[in-house]
A and B are shown apart, each in its own frame.
Chain A
């Protein structure tokens, strides 16, 4: 039992549990101390507290120097001043120093308006930069997903925490010493030459414009303006529960109808839904699970169990780079984005009689790794990719604003058919546990031939980063595990490698809370409550759907009847499945 501690902050008495930081204690009485490096996604291991930016310094009576509020624990009787002259001067000087080694290109910076350095600068009313001097020259790099402009880095090291502690990828770390320190892959290599999975969590937490997504909006506008081309769009389940935040809606607002309307206003010829292909994913992955389980239960030990989900492109990159010996475990089903692309450019294009080269498939994703995924050579035919490019929720919001579309007044519109029809099972793909639950709904009914007694598998839901459950699968105790964060994935993979894994199915997502916390989503600025609100919305969306099992999707049923035959057919294998290869980086 933690004891309570009482202290005085800015002449207010505060009582907090032992171990509370000055920052949190002040927050509890409405005093917001500015921070920059501090970030704690409470509930995950993404806790960054290097206490290195020194913006949150406060005066503690009796202490020789100023104390960083973010990582100084309250003690009994402590007297804290959060805005004395000494504190303000120090805070201002620290920011002035940061600005003295910053390009100060706010007018053209993609982060402008959302930049935390900009916000603190304004908060402290800093109007000049008195300490001009040499700029530390750091590297710029552009990959398919991520743009690094390290001149803007303020060295908060949130990205390092996400990459090393949370994802255990280890692509980013501090390189060099002193003034020329930079955050980069070891030996200042390029990101593309590392084990980077392009999960984009570094981008999601970067307080400034040092790490941003690679945008494809200009290319999109060119295509939309091109009368020769048919441009269609798919949007991922997590986009509709987050986009509203960009327009001032509360976190967790569901804006599906407005999203469709906005995409139509932007000039897309057809507005489709990744949820459709998520249902297709369940048909394939669910069938694969059943196939493997059936063989396994018959005693075939050569069947790779557990089956692991393969929807998350960062996760795919992770196992190809780190576990080349375990590539038989993940499902061979392509991700919903890529299934959609394959279906659109084959089944639908044939149906609509549109030549492949004249069809542009765009995806709106909460994700940066999707940008990389759609450029993988195995997802292209004669150099023409199934999905031409992917934009993020944030990019879409920018595009909507730039196109003078008033989001508030948009009507609610419906997706086009047939690739816009979907079920609640697809909707929950956006949350951790969703893919597994959707697969269970379908696999159970296909396996038993009986309707589910209860659609909601609440035992696999939740926001903890590693969850396990045992499901009564018509008499068979099915052990499942759900994890987000590649660090957790690594633990599970190591269990498999050691032959100690007791699970039959495992769902992995790279980002906090699943796709709802993706690297392309509206910035959460370290507030995990936002991600929780999005999760709530996801399950709300599912509950409101008339159909909630993928195999009941009429357009899916029709597509299998007319085109693929049945799940795991030869044609389905060719278009809806993929293969993995050893991508170990040799240093």
Chain B
């Protein structure tokens, strides 16, 4: 069936909303009264997370088990399993949600399905052992609404993730999907669309923070018969999965936004550049594109207008630098994935030399809802110069690892301590790394900084695409800088001298420091190199590549000096700087350490305190783990 008018779209929405309403309503509800078939609940929906993370924990088997139980009990009309996109709370996955009572089960295993089914779905009683336990209050919380993790979140880009079946375009339409496109095509001029986006204050979520409306406007003004809309889905920051989750959980929002962008700038071709390591996202995108084509929402003369638009997928091989738009375009053209100088900007000369507008996945995900709810609504969220929300992949030494979306202007403290639930194991917060490998490490003193594009840059880091890695006292900041630099050295395309050789030399200096051979002169060299690379590298990635080093040098200078001058690593991470010692007062001479030492570096007679021969010690830590009397320590 082809949709040829807004009425057709409305009919579909109406039909599907019956199906979707319970989910939408329950999302705002407390889960006080449990549902159950025995209690007379007419219809129950079981939502299982179908994101990559939960799938890796066998969430597909959970869904299969439920489906089998439904079939075995002949409950097809009454109970339904829906595989959704990511719920965000990956730390506690796989997640299973029961609608209409909004019960949120965590860490569900395939073997738990039967109990949930019998006790809850049929019996109407919660399976308490699978409920979330609030780490602060030590009480169980049965719905997401009352979890700190969700309380401060505002889900705009993730509005449909964890709610709809991403493989069914009808569910997307039920959530007002494609109404924004219809509104643009039928009621607005391309210029009006661009003005709306400009007014909303939406800025590029890929890292640069360039105003999206302005970008569209520039592309729209470049005259050409052929123009392209490119979705940058080459999410490359280590540990980041914002874009992947959106594509897996709500692929149609990308398809719709690309079509809107195509209409606005005068392009008829869309290309999604996605890394081949994202098979599930690729699969869901393909389904979304196919379904949109079938319904006539992509293709020739969409909704009976003269506008035609179609989307194709291009695969990337996972090179980090291909997230840079010029490198991305070259890669799509079949050329070497390396950046070229701007100008010319892609808006003038992009894919195949044609005007091209490149936006990142999350940026696109915001577009349809801005059209639907209006620029003013969007601009009312967020901070002064950064509007709307930002999705972050929260990771590291934090209690609640997962995908979150918060209004711009939320402080780092709120994200880390309220949403993130604080530092794991009650340890001390040390730093938070934002912006991926090009970002920087911020400290305690930055915790009350509101997060937006400008404040993070001013603090010496950047928004980046939204990676956020929390570190505690056990993290050595020199090693952290080394980790990111190692990533950069591996991912440098090799084109310009400062990035190709400069970062390699910085890495060598950090290695030297970590090995205990650093000098104060090396620290000066690091500063010079980092400064010159920032000042001279060709592309944005090169220019920001020294950020992890620069920000740790400025925020953790003492720690560098300790490594170099005192040959000490306070986090006890740098092996070469550690000394294992046996406390003679605690040692009872049991000889267990000496028996375990692979290097024969421990001497001592039984029942007398032992000692480590430093020249032989290989710092493997075996003695420490063998000692039952805590006599071995590291200094």
Contact = CB atoms under 8 A, between A and B. Distances in A.
Contacts, number: 105
Contact of A177 (B340, B493, B543): B493
Residue among B489, B502, B537 with most chain A CB within 10 A = B502
A154 B447 CA distance: 44
Nearest to A55: B497
Given A90-B532, A93-B529, A134-B508, A174 B494 contact: yes
Contacts of A173: 336
A90 B535 contact: yes
Contact of A94 (B336, B343, B536): B536
A98 B341 contact: no
A52 B490 CA distance: 18
Nearest to B336: A174
Contacts of B88: none
B536 to A, nearest CB: 4
Contacts of B341: 50-51, 68, 71
B532 A131 contact: no
A134 B504 contact: yes
A100 B501 contact: yes
B492 A178 contact: yes
B490 A178 contact: yes
Residue among B319, B489, B532, B534 with most chain A CB within 10 A = B532
B505 A94 contact: no
A165 interface: no
Contacts of B319: 177
Interface in B167-210: none
Contact of A89 (B338, B489, B494, B532): B532
B497 A66 contact: no
A101 interface: yes
Interface in B468-506: 489-498, 500-502, 504-505
A129 B529 CA distance: 13
A235 B495 CA distance: 41
A112 B497 CA distance: 22
A181 B536 contact: no
Interface string A375-391: 00000000000000000
A548 B170 CA distance: 84
Contacts of B340: 50
B496 A53 contact: yes
Nearest to B542: A54
A57 interface: yes
Nearest to B543: A65
A176 interface: yes
A181 B498 contact: no
B525 interface: yes
B500 A155 contact: yes
A38 to B, nearest CB: 12
B505 A131 contact: yes
Interface string B518-536: 0000000100110010111
A466 interface: no
Contacts of A90: 532, 535-536
B536 A57 contact: yes
A178 B494 contact: yes
Contact of B536 (A54, A98, A134, A180): A54
A86 interface: yes
A101 B525 CA distance: 17
Interface string A32-69: 00000000000000000011111101000000011010
A187 interface: no
B538 interface: yes
A508 to B, nearest CB: 27
A131 B489 CA distance: 16
Residue among B319, B343, B497, B504 with most chain A CB within 10 A = B497
Contact of B537 (A54, A174, A180): A54
B208 to A, nearest CB: 13
Contacts of A73: 343
B491 A97 contact: no
Interface in A90-139: 90, 93-94, 97-98, 100-101, 130-131, 133-134
B537 A155 contact: no
Contact of A97 (B343, B493, B498): B498
Interface string A122-165: 00000000110110000000000000000000110000000000
Size class of the B contact interface (CB-based, 8 Å): 20 to 34
Contacts of A93: 498, 502, 528-529, 532, 536
A89 B530 CA distance: 12
B540 to A, nearest CB: 10
B500 A131 contact: no
A97 B497 contact: yes
A229 B529 CA distance: 60
Nearest to A156: B497
Interface string B587-613: 000000000000000000000000000
B39 to A, nearest CB: 61
A400 B338 CA distance: 45
Contact of B497 (A54, A65, A71): A54
Contacts of A98: 497, 501
Contacts of B501: 97-98, 100-101, 131, 179
A503 B310 CA distance: 44
B514 to A, nearest CB: 15
Residue among A86, A131, A174, A178 with most chain B CB within 10 A = A178
Given A57-B536, A178-B491, A100 B505 contact: yes
Contacts of A68: 341, 538
A288 B525 CA distance: 69
A167 B340 CA distance: 22
Given A97-B497, A174-B338, A130 B492 contact: no
Contacts of B492: 177-179
Contacts of A97: 497-498, 501-502, 505
Residue among B319, B528, B534 with most chain A CB within 10 A = B528
Contacts of A100: 501, 505
A133 B508 contact: yes
B525 A131 contact: yes
Interface in B314-361: 319, 336, 338, 340-341, 343
B536 A178 contact: no
Contacts of A134: 504, 508
A183 B64 CA distance: 53
Interface string A173-198: 11011111100000000000000000
A33 to B, nearest CB: 14
Contacts of A181: 493-495, 500
Given A97-B505, A100-B501, A155-B497, A178 B489 contact: yes
A54 B538 contact: yes
Contacts of A86: 535
B534 A54 contact: no
Residue among B489, B505, B538 with most chain A CB within 10 A = B505
Contacts of B543: 65
9 tightest A-B CB contacts, nearest first: A181-B494, A178-B492, A97-B501, A93-B532, A54-B536, A179-B504, A133-B508, A52-B496, A51-B341
24 contacts: A50-B340, A50-B341, A51-B341, A51-B496, A52-B495, A52-B496, A52-B497, A54-B496, A54-B498, A65-B534, A65-B543, A68-B341, A71-B341, A86-B535, A90-B535, A90-B536, A97-B498, A97-B505, A133-B504, A155-B495, A174-B495, A177-B492, A178-B493, A181-B493
Interface of B: 319, 336, 338, 340-341, 343, 489-498, 500-502, 504-505, 508, 525, 528-529, 532, 534-538, 543
Given A51-B496, A90-B536, A154-B497, 10 more contacts: A93-B529, A93-B536, A97-B498, A97-B501, A130-B525, A131-B529, A134-B504, A134-B508, A173-B336, A181-B500
Interface of A: 50-55, 57, 65-66, 68, 71, 73, 86, 89-90, 93-94, 97-98, 100-101, 130-131, 133-134, 154-155, 173-174, 176-181
